[in-house]
Chains A and B, each alone.
Chain A
């Protein structure tokens, strides 16, 4: 005897579909009634636990993504970043520093000529020692080409630097030096320097040059950073040969900026900077480990809570299972009701959790900006939405065997006899 012999006029597939859609709608209806009824406590607490776990996961992953994306040294307001691919070896000191882009000043000019591109600048990053009469301090020097517009590179405003890059002089590097330097607040505090003070800047014991502080940026509070003109830093660090830079930043319309970047550096990595690149997590060991730990902890906590609370819910709901059996719903259908109910709980929890995660990231950034960091320390990526839901679904799949086992032990005779 089988379902195939059922005596309804409809086809087998139609009846099977109606059964499953009927069981699904029955489960959804029951879930909704219970979630909004007077006995909503357990469902609400399960949804809340899933939501908080997913939110925690997304906040930690958002911080890890921000770490992987470079932190304070890449907090630019540029539209597009060009960075060398790992296999490109244009490094000035190959094997010690990472790969760099070549011909950057020349190609920046080419990029600026594209329609839709407002400005392009090479960005060279070197570690330098600065001295203002007191103890020398180690500072991250960032070389950039300002254009007269208000822009931010590495968290510092370029406003106080002279427009253009006169020392470059079409690649001869014999133009006049402006000698201007913008310090972050923490760099200025450590050096005991203020606007108008002279500094000695060196990138090696044999290379030292004088600069004059043109401004101290109040927007930077996290790391000691200083902005100078790109060509002056290239000359100081030896990166003038080959016009090397760590990356190119472009301002303008995203599509035009991306197209110009791809034309100038077809083999380099081009990223629109208004969204973080989640693949960066795989390139940074600490960020990757952090996000993996958050994932494992999240799945474990979420699955444990879902399994426990759903198991307790099923235990209280044995009479319903007994009634379903008494009206002819087979074991497969009864277990499906439990599985669907668990799935709905985790799905709703994940959706709430993604919302809480986005709010949490915004909150963390607000707190960080108000206290220790110059800007965002966590990033929200659109992929976090499916990621959060997928993690919750995974936790639900891990958890569901327990409530199913509880349901399978239900004795219809014991329940209907009460």
Chain B
């Protein structure tokens, strides 16, 4: 359903290079302290909280990595670092071979637009836009024409089983439908990496199973990093890292 060759046939040397690489995401000795002034360029004597300590792992293309651990163990911090929303205090985050920690804010935003799709626990759809407009949202900044945006968003909504709900506002959709719209939005720019934070956390068991099936499909030719407390959700992962107090406690 989500085979990348069936989607937009954009091509560029940059993306071709990145997709040939077997490693989509690499964390090298990542440490992050909240309250340290916001990043590695600033230091402070303020009281700090260490969220990650020397975390390293790879996520190959075509695999799903699960992150588990109690609240405050650093799962979300890792997702935010992978998505370029956060610059760790120390260490490197390589996305498709590019070190995000060496980029400016604008450059990280551009990397995120091209290479990352994010699925939030609480969907975070824009309530005043239709399902189709929400899915097309990342394509606006990509400079895609209006007709192409509509066509691609419609195709993705059909792929997640919501072809007949494209004009509905998020408030008119069920929780499962909203999460499927959020997944379609994450896929709209055909990213290399999907990060999902508790994607089934707000859903009932049956609906959660549908969403996991979607993530499994997506993970066949992309890298997926999914954080969850839920063992069922993590069962779709090829590898699961257990975090405790910001450190890797176990890998299985």
**Residues of chain A at the chain B interface (Cβ within 8 Å):** 1, 3, 5-10, 14-16, 18-19, 21-23, 25-26, 29-30, 33-34, 37, 319-320, 322-331, 333, 412-413, 416-418
Contacts and interface: CB of A to CB of B under 8 A. Distances in A.
B243 interface: no
A231 B147 CA distance: 78
Contacts of A16: 143
Nearest to A24: B140
B106 A331 contact: yes
Contact of A413 (B85, B142, B144): B85
Interface of B: 10-15, 76, 80, 83, 85-86, 103, 105-107, 109-114, 116, 118, 120, 122, 124-126, 128-129, 133, 137-146, 149, 169, 185, 189
Given A8-B143, A18-B145, A326-B85, A3 B137 contact: no
A8 B10 contact: yes
B120 A416 contact: yes
Contacts, number: 116
A190 B45 CA distance: 87
Interface of A is mostly: helix
A26 B140 contact: yes
14 contacts: A7-B11, A7-B13, A10-B143, A18-B140, A19-B141, A326-B83, A327-B112, A327-B137, A328-B110, A328-B112, A328-B113, A328-B116, A413-B86, A416-B118
A327 B137 CA distance: 8
A417 B114 CA distance: 22
Contacts of B141: 19, 22-23, 327-330, 333
A54 B136 CA distance: 38
Contacts of A326: 83, 85, 112, 118, 120, 124
A21 to B, nearest CB: 8
Contacts of B15: 7
B132 to A, nearest CB: 11
B110 A3 contact: yes
A10 B148 CA distance: 13
Given A30-B128, A327-B113, A327-B138, A7 B14 contact: yes
B124 A331 contact: no
